Structure 1
Amino acid sequence: MDISTNYQTKIMGVINANEDSFFKESRFEGAFAISRIEQMINDGANIIDIGGVSSRPGSVSVSSDEELFRVKPIIDSIYEQRLYDKTEFSLDSYDPFVLKYALDRGFKIVNDITGLSNDEVCKIASYYNAKVVIMHMQNNPNNMQKKPEYNDVVLDIDNFFKERIKKAKSFGLEEIILDVGIGFGKTLTHNLKLLKNLDYFKHFGCELLIGASRKSMIDMISPSSIEERLPGTLAIHLASIENGASIIRCHDVKEHNQAIKVQEAIKRAEIL
């Protein structure tokens, strides 16, 4: 793969089908979820990411049956209405059973916060020729923010990506997206260093995804409630695009679409 590839910027809208997602405005069920998905598509989403399990700090996993129970009505409606013809759909899951259900119904992307740790996820993604998001997380959501430490956060994650990309390719997976995992087992200093040095990871030739939407690092910099963090979110995501990210995972699609269009217009403007 050509490591100099410049990918088109894409917006990944977030839909959560669980009651404990940290941002309540992203929680939807049934017909309300479909209405929100259609609105996101109209607002400029290139990808819609559906999740049934919270991964916020301190959260705990649920059974396969419970996760499928939460996301099944949304997946079924997407399939019945052929919404996958309008945009790409991603499932935020690391459960093989639930992923198979989604991939069998028009989903194209596996968004795995465990970074393909489970061979069964690799096998299923390969069978459906799916794209995979390899995200880095230190430990697990229940304990990831308990004093995370690295020798060097950039080099440590770089080594993690090398290992997991090799694993992915051994299963025949070629369309790989990398996510450094902002807020997943990282301090504010770690997060800022990763964002500042994001272009370092471009040497893999993969698309880079950043998802810092309304996260607590914004509150650490400028005290604010979750509902007040859109400006900080836009600042992080626009800087991430400048530093090499091409996929932005966010709750506020319309606002991101406008901000990115303005950013791109400035970049295209003539230099005297």
Structure 2
Amino acid sequence: MKNFKTKIMGIINANEDSFFKNSRFYGSNAVLKIEHMISDGADIIDLGGVSSRPGSIAVSWEEELNRVKPIIDLIYDEKLYEKVKFSLDSYQPKVLDYALNRGFSIVNDITGLENDEVCKIASKYNAQVVIMHMQNNPENMQKSPEYDDVIKEIDTFFNQRIKKAKNFGINNIVLDVGIGFGKNLQHNLLLLKKLEHFKHFGYELLIGASRKSMINLVIESTIEERLPGTLAIHLESIKNGASIIRCHDVKEHYQAIKIQEAINNVEIL
């Protein structure tokens, strides 16, 4: 199986209701934060204009574009896309089209290419696509999620969506099992433990568990207190096959990953 270089995807949110308030930025403040993330070791910046936390309600594409457009324009004007790759966390075709036309190169789709129009736009720009698994939708996904076999069902989902992507000419694919998206604690832990299973597809695996509520279900903690748990999950994910880590705390992840790599690469005398 192919091994991929570990990459850090830093999170920037342009909406008031993202679950972690320290990830919310606007206009020039967002650009300043992006520049800090780049210097801290980010390889990718993932911009989002709509919350996908449990219970969140979707907004119109016009509202979403209104939120992310000023940041996309500044990224484009300052040519920041020449320093790192930019990803848009969206499943709205018109919003994605705007971003991909202005320096963005990754579509991070929590619906896993459900919409054919998203497929067409990704193909048009030859964009990399993150196919994420989610049971139901953000508004109701955490209301007693159930699976007969969570590994098998997500494997089947990936198989179907990879075929769909290829039918639209999309070949640059990343898979995301969707930690916390229609999964209970047991599902999340099992997916993390068995993550290596999904390497058989031959694509990069992305994990994003940054400060998520599953940490609180293991040990009671506020969102602000969950960095240690986040690092534990993400380091274990890398060990089990993940190569893209989506996180709020880039500097801390960079240090932790470099230490992990140093231990793995040391020569035994």
Give the TM-score taking structure 2 as reference length: 1.00
DSSP-derived class of the 1:8 partner: coil
Q: Deviations over 1:210-245 (max 9, x none)?
A: 000000000000100000000000000000000000
CA distance, structure 2, for counterparts of residue 170 and residue 110 of structure 1: 17
1:16 aligned partner:
13
Aligned residues: 269
Which of 206, 211, 214 is equivalent to 2:211? 214
What corresponds to 2:96 in structure 1? Answer: 99
CA distance in 1, matches of 2:8, 2:99: 20
Partner residue of 1:162?
A: 159
Q: Secondary structure at the match of 1:15?
A: strand
Q: What are the residue-to-residue correspondences of 1:50-199 with 2, within 5 Å?
A: 50-199=47-196
**SS of aligned partner of 1:249:** strand
Q: CA deviation at 1:270?
A: 2.2
Superposition deviation, residue 67 in structure 1 = 0.1
Q: Displacement, 1:269?
A: 1.2
Deviations 1:83-117 (A, max 9, x none): 00000000000000000000000100000000000
Deviations for 1:119-165, whole angstroms, at most 9, x for unmatched residues? 00000000000000000000000000001000100000000000000
Matched residue, 2:197:
200
| Distance in 2 separating the partners of 1:247 and 1:17 | 22
Aligned to 2:36: 39
2:251 paired residue number = 254
Paired residue for 2:221?
224
Distance, in Å, in 2 between the alignment partners of 1:249 and 1:64 is 24
SS of alignment partner, residue 185 of structure 1: coil
Q: How much identity, in percent, do the aligned residues show?
A: 74
**In structure 2, C-alpha distance between the alignment counterparts of 1:40 and 1:71, rounded to whole Å:** 18
Aligned partner of 2:209: which letter?
Answer: A
Unaligned runs of 5+ in 2: none
In 1: Cα distance, 2:3 partner to 2:28 partner: 37
Q: Distance in 2 between matches of 1:234 and 1:67?
A: 30
**Match of 2:92, as an amino acid?**
D
Give the SS at the match of 2:107.
strand
Q: Which amino acid aligns with 1:138?
A: Q
* Residues in 2 aligned to 1:113 and 1:60: alpha-carbon distance in whole angstroms: 14
1:239 to 236, 240, 245: 236
Alpha carbon RMSD of aligned pairs, Å? Answer: 0.4
The amino acid across from 2:187 in the alignment is: H
Matched to 1:248, the amino acid is I
Q: Distance in 1 between matches of 2:247 and 2:45?
A: 10
Q: Distance in 2 between matches of 1:78 and 1:6?
A: 31
1:173 is paired with a residue of what secondary structure?
coil
